[in-house]
C-alpha cells in the first residue's frame, strides 16, 4: 500500500471517530464474527490471501471440506467473492476500514484464481493447490466467474477513491473477462423453445438468468467506473458494457411471465422453464441497472416481479422452486438464506429506483424470514454470533449447520437493510393470518400491518 493510501485510510478512520462522537449509533444486527471464524489467511501461489472455509457444522462449527461433487476442496471463489461484496458494501455504508482490508485480502484470492484468459477456477484443496479438474471447480465462465466479476467490479469502484493502483488492477481483471461476455452476446436475439417458453441463448448456460444476474451486477459496477470523465481511454469499453447490460436485461425480460393478475404473476424464470427462489437476482440487477442507466423499462420489469410475485410470496408463503411447464411440481422446501437475499436486496434497490416506501416494507418482511417469520418459526440468524443456519428442511426440521453461503447471504441482506430504518422495522413482524391476496403481520410490540393485493386493478398496498 502506498503513502497516499495510508493517508486516505487515516482520514477515513478519523472521520469515523469524529462521527461516532456526535451521536450514538443504533446497535446493528450485523455481526461478522462467524464469517471471520470461517476466514483463514494463507499463502496461495506466493501471494498472501484470505479464503473462506465452505462449511461449518453444528454443534462446534469447526471447518468442514466440500465433498458434494467428489473432493471439491476447502474454499472457493463463489464464497470469497460474495464475502468481498459484503465487506465492500459495509465499508461504503459504514466506513469501517477493517472491512475494506478484509475485502482486499479476499479480492487477492479471487485475482489469483483468475486465469490469463479471463476465466476462473473455483476451489482450492486442503494442500492449497487449485482444484483444476472438478466439475464444480474447472476453469470456466459460469457461476463462479459471475460472482468473481461482481466482486471485482464493485472492488474497482470502491477502491478507486482509496487506492487507485489497486483499483486499476481490479479493473484490468474485469476487462480480462469481457471477451467471454462478447462471446455470449454473439448469440443475442437467438431464441430456443422449451415447453412453449422462449429461452434467450445469450445468457450464461443458454438461459441462466439467475447466474447472469450476478454477472450483470458486476458489469454495472464496472460501467460506473469506466464511464468516468478521467478514464477517457475506457469510454469505448464503457459503451460496450452498457450495451451488454441492456442485452442481458432484455434476456431477463424475455423470461418474465404474467403480471399481478395473471399466473405466474410477473416472476422472472431462473433457467429454462424453472423458477427457483435461491440466487434469482434479476429484480436486484434490473432495478440497479435501471437506476444507473436511467432505463424505465428495466425498473418496470423489476416492479412487475415485486408487485405481482414477491407480494404473493409474502402474503401466501415462500417456496423453493416451481417448473412452469408443470406447476404442480411446486416445492416449498428447503428454504435457504440465498433465497432471501436476492428478494430483500432487490426490493431495496427497487425503492432506490422508485422512491416507493412500500418496497422498504416488503424488504423488511422478506428479511423477517431470518428472525422467525418462516414455516418453522425458528430464528435463523443469530446477531450475537453472526451465524445463520443453513436451511429450513421442513416445518419441523432445521439444518443447524452454518456454512459460508448462508452466513454471507444473511450478512449481505442485513448490511443493506441496516441502512434503511423503515425496512429494519418490519424485520421483526410475523405473518398471523393470510391467503394468497391478503396477509396480516404483527410486530413483537403488537403493531399490525396488512398487505393487500388487488388483481382487478393490478395493485398492492399496505394498511
**DSSP string spanning 416-461?**
HHTT-HHHHHGGG-EEEEE-SSEEEEE-TT--EEEEEEETTTTEEE
For residue 436, what pLDDT band results from cuts at 50, 70 and 90?
A: confident
Residue 233 is predicted with a pLDDT of 85
Query: 305-330: per-residue pLDDT in tens?
Result: 999 999 999 999 999 999 999 999 89
Distance CA 157, CA 167 (A): 7
Angle at 35 between CA 32 and CA 41, to 5 degrees: 115
For residue 345, give the C-alpha cell: 436486496
Backbone angles phi, psi at 364, to 5 degrees: -65, -40
Find, among 324, 335, 346, 311, the residue nearest to 431 by Cα.
311
Is there a contact between 321 and 274 (Cβ–Cβ < 8 Å)? yes
C-alpha to C-alpha distances, 135 to 78, 87, 112, 275, nearest whole angstrom? 14, 29, 19, 23
Residue 71 is predicted with a pLDDT of 83
Query: 135-155: per-residue pLDDT in tens?
Result: 999 999 999 999 999 999 999
Grid look-up 477515513 returns: 12
Distance CA 252, CA 247 (A): 9
Kindly state the helix (H) or strand (E) to which residue 201 belongs, with its residue range: none
Mean pLDDT of 174-198: 98
Helix (H, G, I), strand (E, B) or coil at 31: coil
For residue 435, what pLDDT band results from cuts at 50, 70 and 90?
A: confident
Tally of CB atoms within 10 A around 224: 17
Distance CA 81, CA 364 (A): 25
Asked if pLDDT for residue 11 goes beyond 80, the answer is: no
Query: 364-423: per-residue pLDDT in tens?
Result: 999 999 999 999 999 999 999 999 999 999 999 999 999 999 999 999 999 999 999 999
Pairing of strands 55-57, 448-454: unpaired
Residue 67 is predicted with a pLDDT of 84
Asked if pLDDT for residue 25 goes beyond 70, the answer is: no
Domains, the chain, in order of start with CATH, read 31-186 (1.50.10.20)
Residue 383 is predicted with a pLDDT of 97
Residue 26 is predicted with a pLDDT of 67
Find, among 257, 263, 319, 314, the residue nearest to 462 by Cα.
314
Is there a contact between 407 and 350 (Cβ–Cβ < 8 Å)? no
Query: 63-111: per-residue pLDDT in tens?
Result: 999 887 678 999 999 999 999 999 999 999 999 999 999 999 999 999 9
Mean pLDDT of 348-375: 98
Separation of CA 249 from chain center? 17
pTM over 0.85: yes
Round the average pLDDT of the chain to a whole number and report it: 94
For helices 143-159 and 209-226, angle between their N-to-C axes, nearest 10 degrees = 20
Residue 232 is predicted with a pLDDT of 83
Distance CA 342, CA 336 (A): 11
Residue 154 is predicted with a pLDDT of 98
Query: What is the b/e burial string over 206-218, where b = at least 16 CB atoms within 10 angstroms of the residue's CB?
Result: ebbbbbbbbbbbb
For residue 234, what pLDDT band results from cuts at 50, 70 and 90?
A: confident
For residue 9, give the C-alpha cell: 485510510
For residue 237, what pLDDT band results from cuts at 50, 70 and 90?
A: very high
For residue 6, what pLDDT band results from cuts at 50, 70 and 90?
A: very low
Distance CA 60, CA 73 (A): 20
Amino acid at each position: 500500500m502506498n503513502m497516499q493510501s495510508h493517508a486516505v485510510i487515516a482520514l477515513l478512520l478519523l472521520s469515523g471517530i469524529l462521527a461516532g462522537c456526535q451521536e450514538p449509533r443504533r446497535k446493528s444486527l450485523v455481526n461478522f464474527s462467524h464469517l471471520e471464524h470461517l476466514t483463514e489467511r494463507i499463502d496461495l501461489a506466493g501471494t498472501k490471501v484470505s479464503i473462506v472455509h465452505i462449511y461449518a457444522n453444528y454443534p462446534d462449527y469447526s471447518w468442514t471440506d466440500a465433498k458434494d461433487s467428489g473432493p471439491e476442496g476447502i474454499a472457493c471463489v463463489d464464497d470469497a467473492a460474495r464475502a468481498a461484496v459484503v465487506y465492500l458494501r459495509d465499508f461504503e455504508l459504514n466506513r469501517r476500514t477493517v472491512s475494506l482490508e478484509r475485502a482486499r485480502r479476499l479480492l487477492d484470492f479471487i485475482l489469483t484464481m483468475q486465469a490469463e484468459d479471463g476465466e476462473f477456477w473455483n476451489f482450492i484443496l486442503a494442500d492449497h493447490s487449485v482444484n483444476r479438474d472438478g466439475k464444480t471447480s474447472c476453469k470456466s465462465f459460469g457461476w463462479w466467474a459471475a460472482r468473481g466479476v461482481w466482486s471485482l467490479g464493485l472492488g474497482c469502484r470502491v477502491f478507486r477513491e482509496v487506492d487507485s493502483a489497486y483499483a486499476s488492477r481490479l479493473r484490468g481483471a474485469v476487462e480480462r473477462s469481457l471477451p467471454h461476455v462478447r462471446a455470449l452476446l454473439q448469440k443475442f436475439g437467438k431464441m430456443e423453445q422449451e415447453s412453449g417458453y422462449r429461452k434467450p441463448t445469450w445468457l450464461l448456460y443458454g438461459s441462466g438468468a439467475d447466474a447472469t444476474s450476478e454477472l450483470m451486477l458486476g458489469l454495472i459496477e464496472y460501467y460506473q467506473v469506466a464511464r468516468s470523465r478521467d478514464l477517457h481511454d475506457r469510454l469505448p469499453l464503457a459503451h460496450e458494457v452498457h450495451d451488454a447490460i441492456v442485452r442481458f436485461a432484455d434476456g431477463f425480460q424475455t423470461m418474465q411471465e404474467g403480471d399481478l393478475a395473471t399466473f405466474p404473476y410477473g416472476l422472472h424464470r431462473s433457467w429454462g422453464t424453472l423458477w427457483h427462489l435461491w440466487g434469482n437476482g434479476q429484480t436486484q440487477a434490473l432495478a440497479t441497472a435501471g437506476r444507473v442507466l436511467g432505463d424505465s423499462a428495466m425498473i418496470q420489469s423489476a416492479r412487475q416481479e415485486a408487485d405481482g410475485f414477491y407480494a404473493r410470496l409474502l402474503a401466501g408463503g415462500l417456496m423453493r422452486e416451481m417448473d412452469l411447464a408443470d406447476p404442480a411440481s411446486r416445492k416449498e422446501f428447503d428454504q435457504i438464506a440465498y433465497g432471501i437475499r436476492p428478494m430483500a436486496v432487490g426490493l431495496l434497490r427497487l425503492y432506490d429506483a422508485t422512491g416507493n416506501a412500500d418496497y422498504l416494507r416488503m424488504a423488511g418482511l422478506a428479511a423477517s424470514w431470518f428472525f422467525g417469520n418462516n414455516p418453522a418459526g425458528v430464528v435463523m440468524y443469530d446477531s450475537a454470533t453472526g451465524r445463520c443456519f443453513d436451511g429450513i428442511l421442513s416445518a419441523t426440521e432445521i439444518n443447524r449447520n452454518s456454512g459460508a453461503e448462508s452466513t454471507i447471504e444473511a450478512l449481505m441482506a442485513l448490511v443493506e437493510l441496516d441502512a434503511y430504518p423503515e425496512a429494519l422495522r418490519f424485520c421483526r413482524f410475523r405473518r398471523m393470518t393470510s391467503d394468497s391476496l391478503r396477509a396480516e403481520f404483527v410486530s413483537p410490540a403488537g403493531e399490525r400491518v396488512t398487505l393487500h393485493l388487488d388483481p382487478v386493478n393490478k395493485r398492492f398496498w399496505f394498511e
